[in-house]
Amino acid sequence: MPVLVFGRTGQVATELAGVGGDDIICLGRAEADLSDPEACAAAIRQTDATAVINAAAYTAVDKAEDSEALATVINGDAPSAMARAAAARGVPFVHVSTDYVFDGSGEAPWRETDTVAPLNAYGRSKLKGEQGIAAAGGTCAILRTAWVFSAHGNNFVKTMLRLSAERDSLRVVDDQVGCPTPARAIAEALWRMAGAMAEGHPGGIYHFGGQPPVSWCGFAQAIFERAGRNVALAGIPTSDFPTPARRPANSRLDCRALEADFGIGPPDWRAGLDEVLRELGEMA
């Protein structure tokens, strides 16, 4: 099953290349620049792939506050154009979105039907993509996920490992709670969804996040324990670590719909963390 993937070097795209093997056709920026939505649509029109996955995005959350127009083209206009092109060809389109489409209020896990209200430019740009995909009219699926980590690229796990090698104490936000999600698990879910949709599954909007929920500070503690790092860790409130973009306090995701419709259950992020640390040669 040849599958066209937008993205080559990102965390999820890298893992997709491993999951799909020879059936994956990855397009990097040189082949399809997401700042040029028409080029992305043209790539879909020219392919004989049986499904399309968009694993590329503008992910610099804080930079997006000053570059919202560019983020909106990449995260909003480009996926919308991809979805329309896929619909015109009659092939399924699967897209990665984010928990940042929600405002992070309350403590209950977010369900797919909950009201969206992004707090920042990145969230708004991703929401525009979701809306454009839904309006495209084809067979589409949107997979909202959160707190992605892997042995590749930039992510919280690698940042904590780097900082713990430089410092003997760290202060980490403890009042934002979410679902750390291994990129490999996301890639496997996308691959299975694309295959099911190519065989007639109608798609939809779904949530996929690692379990159990944990704070950033709790996640850091697990990293240090598993990597054998002796770091004095202090939990702090978000107010003590201001950033240009507001972050949601509650990024818990209810993943029951994906399991019911595709048989894909949420991953245990602790097992995924162990795999990543072993891949990095950092497992104690």
Closest by CA to 250, choosing from 104, 117, 110, is 104
Please give the domain boundaries of the chain with CATH numbers for all domains.
3-155+180-209+253-261 (3.40.50.720)
Tokens found for residue 146: 């959160």
Check: CB of residue 132 under 8 Å from CB of residue 75.
no
CA 205, CA 234: separation in Å to the nearest integer?
37
User: pLDDT tens for residues 55-96?
Assistant: 999 999 999 999 999 999 999 999 999 999 999 999 999 999
Q: What is the pLDDT of residue 40?
A: 96
The reported pTM is: 0.95
Alpha helix (H) ranges present in the chain? 11-20, 37-45, 68-72, 78-89, 121-135, 156-166, 183-198, 216-227, 256-262, 269-280
**Catalytically active residues, by annotation:** 122
Within the chain, what is the greatest distance between any pair of CA atoms?
Answer: 56
Digitized pLDDT (tens) for each residue of the chain, 284 residues in all: 799 999 988 999 999 999 888 888 999 888 889 999 999 999 999 989 999 999 999 999 999 999 999 999 999 999 999 999 999 999 999 999 999 999 999 999 999 999 999 999 999 999 999 999 999 999 999 999 999 999 998 999 999 999 999 999 999 999 999 999 999 999 999 999 999 999 999 999 999 999 999 999 999 999 999 999 999 999 999 999 999 999 999 999 999 999 999 999 999 999 999 999 999 999 77
DSSP 116: P
Which residues, other chains included, contact 129 with Cβ-Cβ below 8 Å and sequence gap of 6+?
Answer: 75, 76, 77, 78, 79, 80, 95, 97
Q: What is the pLDDT of residue 22?
A: 81
Cα dihedral: 7, 8, 13, 19 (round 10): 130
Q: What is the pLDDT of residue 23?
A: 87
Q: Which value, in Å, is the radius of gyration of the alpha carbons in the chain?
A: 18
Q: What is the pLDDT of residue 118?
A: 98
